[in-house]
Amino acid sequence: MTKKKGLVIVNTGNGKGKTTAALGLLFRAWGRGMNVCMLQFIKNENAKYGEIKAAHKLGIEITPTGDGFTWLSKDMDKTTARARHGWALAQEKIASGEYDVIVLDEFTYPLHFDWLDTEEVIAWLKEHKPPMLHLVITGRNAPEKLIEFADLVTEMQEIKHPYQEGIQGQPGVEF
C-alpha cells in the first residue's frame, strides 16, 4: 500500500547547500503550478540576495524576517522578537491552507538558540499543518526532536570550503 502525505523535510549540517536545495525544491514545485513561499529567519528584511531578486522576477514569494547575522546581534531581545514574529507569520501561512510548499529557511536557528520552543513548534505543526502541505526547514544544528519529527532529513557535510583558504563569498554562489 502506498500513501500520499505532505512531507516535513529538514536540510541541516555544516556543509553548504541547505537553502540552495530548498530553493530547488521550491522552484520545482512552482514549475508544477503549486503555490509556494519561503520565509527566511536570519536574512535581514531589507536583504537583496540573488535568490530574493530571482524570486521577485518570477513572482515567487520570499520574505526575509531576520536582522542579519543574529549571532552578532547587539540586541538579542529584538532578534528574539523578530524570530517570534517570523514564526507567527509562518503559522498564518501554514494554517491558511493556501500553499502546497512552504520553506522555513534558517528556522533551525530560532529552535537551536531557544528563541522558540522546539516541542511547542512540533506540537503546533502536528495540530495545524495541512496534511498535504510540504514543509521544508533549513539550517545548522537541527534539534534532535525536529529530526525525529521530520519525514526526510538530509545532513550537508562540509568537506572543503573556499573560506578555509581565505576566499570571500562569491555573488551568485553564496548570496
Phi and psi (nearest 5°) for 113? -85, 5
Catalytic-residue membership of 20: yes
C-alpha cell at 97: 491552507
Q: Is 28 a catalytic residue?
A: yes
Active-site residue 65, yes or no?
no
Which of 16, 84, 129, 140 is catalytic? The answer is 16
pLDDT at 118: 98
Indicate the helix (H) or strand (E) that contains 134.
strand 134-138
Q: What is the DSSP string of 69-125?
A: SGGG-S-HHHHHHHHHHHHHHHHHHHHHS--SEEEEETTHHHHHTTSS-HHHHHHHH
Evaluate if pTM is beyond 0.85.
yes
Residue 72 CB contacts under 8 Å (≥ 6 apart), including other chains: none
| 16 labelled catalytic | yes
Q: Which of 48, 53, 69, 158 is catalytic?
A: 69
Q: Which of 106, 107, 115, 138 is catalytic?
A: 106
Q: Catalytic one among 5, 32, 71, 78?
A: 71
Query: Exactly one of 28, 53, 78, 126 is catalytic; which is it?
Result: 28
Give tens-digit pLDDT for 8-40. 999 999 999 999 999 999 999 999 999 999 999
The structural domains of the chain, with segments of one domain joined by +, span 8-156
Among candidate residues 11, 18, 93, 108, the one labeled active-site is 18
pLDDT tens by residue, the chain, 175 residues: 788 999 999 999 999 999 999 999 999 999 999 999 999 998 877 878 889 999 999 999 999 998 776 656 677 788 888 999 999 999 999 999 999 999 999 999 999 999 999 999 999 999 999 999 999 999 999 999 999 999 999 999 999 988 888 898 888 888 7
Candidates 119, 52, 46, 113; CA nearest to 79 is 113
Q: Cell for 65? A: 524576517
HSE (CB half, 13 Å, CA atoms) of 8? 17
Superfamily of structural domain 8-156: P-loop containing nucleotide triphosphate hydrolases (3.40.50.300)
Is residue 14 among the annotated active site residues?
Answer: yes
